[in-house]
Amino acid sequence: MGGFYYLCAMSGDRPEITICSCGSRERSEELVEALRIARPGTVFNHVISTTGTTDVKYDWFMMLDPDSVSVFEMMRCMKNGIPVITVESETSDRMLDDDCAVIFGPDPQNEEFVRGMLPFIESDVRKQQLNRSAAEKFQGDACESNERKEPLVSILLLTYNQGETAGRAIESILGQQCDFPYEIIIGDDCSTDGTSALCRYYAEEYPGIVRLMPDRGHRGLVNNYFDCFNSARGVFIGDCAGDDYWDDPFRLEKQCRFLSEHSDCVAVMSDWTISENGFMVKSTEIEECPEFRKGFTGQEMINFIIGFRRYFPFLSAMLFRKDCLTDIYRMNPTYLCREEWGCEDVPVLFTLATKGNIGYLPLSAAVYNIRNGSVSNNKDNDGGYEFIKGLTGCIRDLCELHKVDCFGTKEAKGMNARLLYLASLILERPDSEKISDFEQLCAKWPVPLSLKLSLYRLSFKSRLGIKSLRGVKKLLILLFK
């Protein structure tokens, strides 16, 4: 976390200024000493903060070298009518309108600038002007505050023929209680059941918050997701499927605060609830999900993704930093977006993990609605085969793209387990195209094939081999009934 920001608490006729620094102690102490010499009648306190926040109560807020942490704190000050001084930067320019109570200065590392600002900010007249400007800027309801130039968070909401549930998903996000602007980007993938009309209604009803992506024809899950991602203006990204919904009205506020206070984390994940056929179960109650109730280092998350077998972190219960993916996406979109992978969550989380840690915040963030026929829950053989083939190829390709070539026993078993499941689906309905897909995966498999996989691979080379393997499988099922 870089830079400094400055807090001022007035004490009678003698101003008392607390300087909170998030950068190097040596650098900040030099600046404090320079200020003491320049303003001998002023009391200067010095606080080193690792989170970017303190308990100091202040009358005005000065910030240098803005980053996502200090911008977040600055926006809260402005909403509460606290005058703000900052310097011109890409971050503050993206986050704030020109008519905000902000004074732009030249050089964030120039002590002369800071010393020159002190007598100016101590002027009662100017202080009143700043207070009045800040208060006027943030009057109005949540909709008005979200009409600011740039949102802090972009929520991607993907829909396809979900007219019965999409409204609930949108309302659950509109109901978030937070004091910063956010946007909802809806990507409707050419629905035919009235979902498109519903999405248009919300875009027209909440023009400062809800944006409906233009119709570009049927794009499919992966392309639809990254179309929305590429359109997002927020610093942080969240998402929600059209048949899911968020169930904590303070979730956005809490997760944003977490990321603002943990600069080492590229994302934060929280708990979720699974809903299937009227039954609800929380992720905290599932025996196979204990690892999700703690944070991950980037390497731990990569290892988990490679080796997972059933439960995967729910992307709709997470919030992540957009800039951790933007550079890679612009350099080469195929590192994240490939239609043949059939999924967006695995490449997003894998790539994030190459950039930093994944934090954990204990709250119920979202409800995941499982319905038969969905991409990840398709009980049809062909549908299930396509999903597992895409997922298996995705993880293999990600390992190759990011040069991950060291696998532990758990990771190797997980990789082989997915390929083995794919082989069993092929055996149920064998055809030459599926067998060719399987052979291509085996030929570039990053871990040694298990004995069972080697047997499948050999059997798939002839009709007799397939017939013999199916016979052996039936016999084993009869023997172990």
| CA atoms of 386 and 120, how far apart (whole Å) | 66
Q: What's the Cα-to-Cα distance from 478 to each of 156, 236, 253, 473, rounded to whole Å?
A: 49, 54, 56, 9
Give residue 189's Cα distance to chain centre.
22
Token pair in block for residue 459:
């059997």
pLDDT of 11 reads 42
CB 129 within 8 A of CB 99: no
Residues 449-470 as b or e (16 or more Cβ within 10 Å = b): bbeebeebbebbeeeeebeebe
pLDDT of residue 139: 39
So what's the pLDDT on residue 167? 93
3-state secondary structure 433-475: HHHHHHHHHHHCCCCCCCHHHHHHHHHCCCHHHHHHHHHHHHH
What pTM did the predictor assign?
0.69
Taking alpha carbons only, the member of 349, 347, 360, 390 closest to residue 293 is 360
Show the low-confidence residues of the chain (pLDDT under 50): 1-14, 50-54, 66-69, 87-115, 120-148, 373, 375
Q: How far apart are CA 374 and CA 372, in angstroms?
A: 6
CA pair distance 279, 72, nearest whole angstrom: 39
How confident is the model at residue 293, as a pLDDT?
80
315: CB partners within 8 A, 6+ apart: 239, 344, 345, 348, 349
The confidence score (pLDDT) of residue 201 equals 94
**Integer angstrom CA distances of residue 305 from 316, 352, 445:** 17, 12, 16
Angle, alpha carbons 23-267-55 (nearest 5°): 45
Q: Show the 3-state SS of 130-183.
A: HHHHHHHHCCCCHHHHCCCCCCCEEEEEEECCCCCCHHHHHHHHHCCCCCCCEE
The Cα–Cα gap between 125 and 32 comes to: 26
Residue-by-residue DSSP string for 185-197: EEEE---SSSHHH
143's CB contacts (< 8 A; 6+ apart) are: 206, 208, 209
Determine the 3-state secondary structure of 335 from DSSP.
Answer: helix
Instruction: Calculate the dihedral angle through the C-alpha atoms of 155, 158, 164, 165, rounding to the nearest 10 degrees.
Output: -40
The CA-based angle 160-164-167, given to 5 degrees, is: 85
Task: Report which DSSP code applies to 100.
Answer: S
Return d(Cα 153, Cα 178) in angstroms, integer.
11
Q: Give backbone dihedrals phi and psi of 70, rounded to 5 degrees, phi first.
A: -75, -30
- Taken in order 158, 339, 356, 313, the sign of the CA dihedral is positive
Residue 150's pLDDT is 86
Tokens coding 318: 């997470």
Q: 């499948």: which residue's tokens?
A: 456
The confidence score (pLDDT) of residue 406 equals 81
Separate counts of helices (H) and strands (E) for the chain: 18, 15
